[in-house]
Chain A
């Protein structure tokens, strides 16, 4: 069983939900990111999502967009991120998922990426601008390499697409809680519940919910509904405020409160 599946199994056995914490790799530098990842793991995050900075992130709001700009200014590349993952793997076994725009992976080369990512210790890949329709070439390469490709579903997804994504997605299904971009405000939790229930009709694969989860209260409500809770912009905001020792302390405290919210469902 791979690290992502184990994480979901472990939390399930403990009667808690899986907390997935997102940070932008290289924001403000990759050394900082390594420290943040270890702090997040220590504070109770079950899976780490590492953003790969892209110049034109169409699915992201201003918070993550600016994080990408900071990461690019410090010279972060996909290659350097894989090296950082290799270094992290000597210190932690927490599941690591890369969230990259398609052009980053395409430019690296799909086959080379799958091979190098797995060799470095990456467990999964999320590509927000690659719907299953465009995953024809990477999917078999990732399967062969042992890299989980995690697909997304949205409030607008039809039943047919829910079924297709449920069948294809490995590790978990990323349900986007709202029609919008990262960092937007989640208002319609009843709709999230309805959609998650629909998706579960098609699959045993865990469903994690992301976008718009900013507070432990949000996390608690979503944890009641889904198998996993994804928090991104709220963590990136803490990092943006700057100052490594303080940031680590704040990330730790905030992640602990998020994790606590996933226990009491």
Chain B
């Protein structure tokens, strides 16, 4: 579909396939089936059907007039991925991968989840297509996102707690990779972000690019021109790459990815890989990581479980080095302020992940002219975070 990555899954120096030999044939099969599906109009029709009738696409591009006026600068549009079924953009990818699972003749899917949004999106498509489903989740995250754990179980999925390591997303991915290595002949691993070994970062980007394709059409209709800025939060980086990809060729459109600044970059407790990270290999791909001098992966911190991961998608590393996309970070505190602002100015409660992107827009918009346009990807809604937000505000429910 796109030019990058090359045949070996490389985005320049980044990407690749650093996985045990056992998995290579499965990745080869997935690449073949995906290539074939891309060339099959029936696959595209099927995917479009479910995106339209089941997910609820296209999602609106909403002009946030009150927010724009309040910040006193650029016009701010929100791409309403929070309106997707299950409440976040994650399902754009899981529908696509579930359809591929059926084409591979596999009956079981597994997944990792951090915030639980991807886990819920996988549990949902597993129910939809009659697939057996197991989701790995760190026990620390299970506590932070108890509601999503219960949602997955209600959907008939087995949620398996991961006690190893930091008991968060990275340990859940390791555990899912171990399961996949063991059950590779019968199981497809539905990875949730543009991470992991080739073809995952490419395939997931392609599935998420529907966000940017719709946005492009919608903004041309609304404004008669392309936006000046695109802003999105970056955990692994799937919602951002999905929005950015169709605009990459338009050199005038500036793009900002917002990472989790946690308690502040200087505190060391954050997940801003581009701020203090370095190149390394984690979970199958070469990219920017938070690691120590000996190459051990560092623990990350963020108020948002979905951004709390030590590596970033390899394609982001590529565009960072090329300076095509710039990266900023927002702290936990800034994200909380942004959460309140959007809730109270627009009646839209964002998930804590895109709250980081909103925090950046709060700084950016006032520096721009009223004629300028920002599109912000509102990648998920905040219902899942209400308990967490209450806890942070010291309110007992």
Contacts and interface: CB of A to CB of B under 8 A. Distances in A.
Contacts of A156: 21-26, 184-185
A89 interface: no
B281 A106 contact: yes
B294 A77 contact: yes
B294 A179 contact: no
Given A56-B170, A134-B17, A156-B185, A107 B177 contact: no
A102 interface: yes
Contacts of B164: 62, 65
A154 interface: yes
Contacts of B24: 131, 133, 156-157, 161
Interface in A23-64: 54-59, 61-62
Contact of B294 (A65, A102, A104, A181): A104
A103 interface: yes
A158 interface: yes
Interface string B290-312: 01011111000000000000000
B282 interface: yes
A142 interface: no
A103 B170 contact: no
B174 interface: yes
B182 A103 contact: no
B20 interface: yes
Contacts of B294: 77-79, 104, 107
A133 B289 CA distance: 22
A112 interface: no
Contacts of A61: 178
B158 interface: no
B284 to A, nearest CB: 7
B280 A181 contact: no
A129 B18 contact: yes
A176 interface: yes
A154 B174 contact: no
Given A56-B174, A153-B21, A161-B25, A102 B184 contact: no
B181 A107 contact: no
A146 interface: no
B85 interface: no
A158 B22 CA distance: 10
Given A54-B296, A72-B296, A107-B293, A155 B178 contact: no
B89 to A, nearest CB: 26
Interface in B109-150: none
A161 B21 contact: yes
Given A62-B164, A133-B17, A157-B21, A103 B178 contact: no
A108 B297 CA distance: 14
B19 interface: yes
Contacts of A176: 20-22
Most buried by B among A54, A61, A154: A154
A65 B26 CA distance: 24
A254 to B, nearest CB: 26
Q: Is the interface of B mostly helix, strand, loop or mixed?
A: mixed
B106 interface: no
B295 A104 contact: yes
A194 to B, nearest CB: 16
Nearest to B164: A65
Interface in A58-82: 58-59, 61-62, 65, 69, 72, 77-79
A245 to B, nearest CB: 30
Most buried by A among B21, B174, B294: B21
A247 B154 CA distance: 48
B183 interface: yes
A179 B282 contact: no
A106 B181 contact: no
A181 B184 contact: no
A144 interface: no
B364 to A, nearest CB: 35
Nearest to B23: A156
B290 to A, nearest CB: 11
Contacts of A78: 294-295
Contacts of A108: 295
A131 B165 contact: no
B280 A155 contact: no
A119 interface: no
28 contacts: A56-B171, A56-B282, A58-B19, A58-B174, A58-B181, A59-B178, A59-B181, A69-B165, A103-B291, A107-B280, A107-B293, A108-B295, A130-B18, A131-B20, A131-B24, A151-B21, A152-B21, A154-B20, A156-B25, A156-B184, A157-B21, A157-B22, A165-B21, A176-B22, A179-B181, A180-B178, A181-B182, A184-B182
Given A79-B294, A106-B281, A180-B182, 8 more contacts: A56-B165, A56-B297, A103-B291, A155-B22, A156-B21, A157-B21, A180-B178, A181-B178
Interface of A: 54-59, 61-62, 65, 69, 72, 77-79, 101-104, 106-108, 128-131, 133-134, 151-158, 161, 165, 176, 179-181, 184
Of all A-B residue pairs in the complex, the 8 with the closest CB atoms, nearest first, are A107-B295, A154-B22, A180-B182, A55-B296, A77-B294, A103-B295, A103-B281, A55-B297
